[in-house]
Amino acid sequence: MPLFDRTPPQPKQQDRPGRITRLLNRHFRHYGNLAEGLELLNSELGLTESASVRYVPPEPTVKTPTHVHARATIYAPDMDGQADPGEVVWADIRPNRGAEIQRRAVLIVGRNHHTLLTLLISSNEEHRNHDNWTAIGPGAWDMNRSESWVRLDKILEIPESQILRRGLHMPERRYDRIAQRLREDYGWH
């Protein structure tokens, strides 16, 4: 009797033939899934403007009076993965229940765990004479580089997972002017 058996090993018998095949077919054979998944991934990464796969908030965006969130605010835009005060990001905002979703630029002024505390940016000329808005000048947050304003009396609470980042930050002097108004008028530090 030989010490070593030189015959190749036989494949193991499966107890339930086709189990893996059924699993693969069920989860990976649908033609639209890969394309839809890639489109969703690209959308989440901000590489597409496709509205069909964007997250649609079911409820109106949470708006609270600015003084409710009074805290210290510092200019700290660091493109390290987390969104920081001083960054300008885009968010899908639903102004009221049943209203259309609007993608708007917002300025981050703080955070509460994974919720960003933001101020709305607008290039609407009507805000020029409103006390609750302050001028911030033109910037890359507006396609036409129009004069813009930021609303100071309402904080928009936006989950960090629902923003679109483009590596844009408010110039530091402008941010300091905004922070000064928050300190003077709304009790921030």
Residue corresponding to tokens 């933001």:
118
Instruction: With a cut of 80, say whether residue 31 has pLDDT above it.
Output: no
Q: Tell me what the pLDDT averaged over the chain comes to.
A: 83
Helices (H), 112-186: 172-186
Helix (H) or strand (E) holding 21: helix 19-28
Instruction: With a cut of 70, say whether residue 124 has pLDDT above it.
Output: yes
**What is the fold of 62-186?**
SH3 type barrels. (2.30.30)
Instruction: With a cut of 90, say whether residue 26 has pLDDT above it.
Output: no
Collect all residues with Cβ–Cβ distance below 8 Å to 163 and sequence separation of at least 6.
83, 89, 90, 91, 116
Three-state DSSP state, 86: coil
Mean pLDDT within 149-173: 93
Give the model confidence (pLDDT) of 43-92 as tens digits.
767 776 655 545 555 577 899 999 999 999 999 998 777 899 999 999 99
Distances (CA, A) of 32 to 43, 44, 47, 75, 124: 16, 18, 19, 44, 41
Domain boundaries, the chain: 17-54, 62-186
Return the closest-CA partner of residue 122 out of 139, 110, 97, 108: 139
Collect all residues with Cβ–Cβ distance below 8 Å to 84 and sequence separation of at least 6.
76, 77, 78, 108
Q: What's 123's DSSP letter?
A: -
